[in-house]
Amino acid sequence: MDDPKTVGLTLFGIAAYSFFYARLIAKPNVIAGNDEIKELMGQMPALHSLYFPPPYLWQADAQLIPYTLKGMWYKHYPNSKWYRQMVRLTDGEELALDWVVSSPGMAIDGLPSDPENTTPVLMLHHGAFCDSADMPGQDYVQEALKRGWFVCALNRRGHAGPLTRPKWNFFGCPDDVHCVTQSILQRRPKAKLFTIGMSAGSGLVATVFGKGDAVNDFHAGVCVCPGFDITKCMGRFASFYAVSLFSFSRCVMLYLTIFCIVLQEMLLKHGKKFFLKVNKALLEHLPGYHDCLAAADLQEWIDHAYAMAGCESKEHYYETYNPNNYVYQSTRPVLCICSENG
């Protein structure tokens, strides 16, 4: 380090890195729906404190990589073990509701009946192609357990096993969630229910809250990395980076473009095998099934999957299940956490 040029380049590198990093230190942009929510959010210090990105990975788009790898790690080395409770829905389908084993007082078939117990229950909703075994949001599990809460993860139709009824929805059905929450409240009528949805699961949370008391039994919820407009959010999965590739600030992010394209191809291939081919006997007679098999990207797949969700057309599907139609209608607290460019 005695060479003046080396010292100069080192100092310049440190200064440049510090300059660009300092530009990213900021407070979250908090938008409150009404005065009541604004007052509630004022009591949450984290929403009004400076956010410091990880110094070793401060570029916002690049943080997708460790998030994905973390989910893959938890799939093989989970930090929680689960009891599986099967909940029968009104059409006869059964959903897997997984409860964390370390939750105190847990029975093999879920929560024991206790009409006077007021312990809160946290329900997690996984992202696309995930389940309780490989859910990136497992850090939330440990935080809830520290507070003495019960924790469960709801596996949407087809995610924890083959379908038994010809109905499947990529983003989940609010009526299914309501059926499950009612089954919990039958055992614990005084318990307060809370929920966190991640990625595709966050859209389901937003829809449940927006539809109101008819389907919503949660007192409050959180949506993490939401894609509220499902008419186009999956189309941006890889094309976002490709479209902005030629701007100077994005040129260095070519590897992220490649990563996202490859990841989408992997998810699409896995999804076709896991949902469509496994359930071929139940779904192939429905309109759009073969179009889904031939889909070139995730958005095209969702466009053609309307009949599997019980809808008459693509327009009917988006009208019924697009979270963007409901997210601003919630009368209960729901916090949406997303990136500035999301």
pLDDT of residue 256: 59
Residue 114 CA to residue 108 CA, distance in Å, equals 15
Domain boundaries, the chain: 1-55, 59-337
Q: Which long-range contacts (CB under 8 A, 24 or more apart) does 100-107 make?
A: 100/141, 100/145, 100/150, 100/151, 100/152, 102/145, 103/145, 103/149, 103/150, 103/151, 104/148, 106/150, 107/83
| pTM for the model | 0.83
pLDDT of residue 244: 46
pLDDT of residue 59: 64
pLDDT of residue 267: 80
Residue 260 CA to residue 209 CA, distance in Å, equals 30
In 3D, which of 326, 271, 281, 260 has the Cα closest to residue 304?
A: 271
Strands of the sheet with 193-198, listed across from one edge: 82-88, 94-100, 150-155, 121-125, 193-198, 218-224, 334-337
Fold of 59-337: Rossmann fold (3.40.50)
What is the residue-level pLDDT of the chain in tens, covering all 342 positions?
Answer: 567 778 788 888 888 888 878 877 888 777 766 677 777 777 878 778 888 877 777 666 667 677 767 767 776 776 667 788 999 999 999 999 998 866 555 655 677 888 999 999 999 998 887 777 766 556 788 888 888 899 999 999 998 889 999 999 988 999 999 999 999 999 999 999 999 998 888 889 999 999 988 899 999 999 987 777 888 877 665 554 444 444 444 554 565 566 667 777 788 888 898 899 999 999 999 999 999 999 988 889 999 999 999 999 999 999 999 988 888 888 888 888 876 655
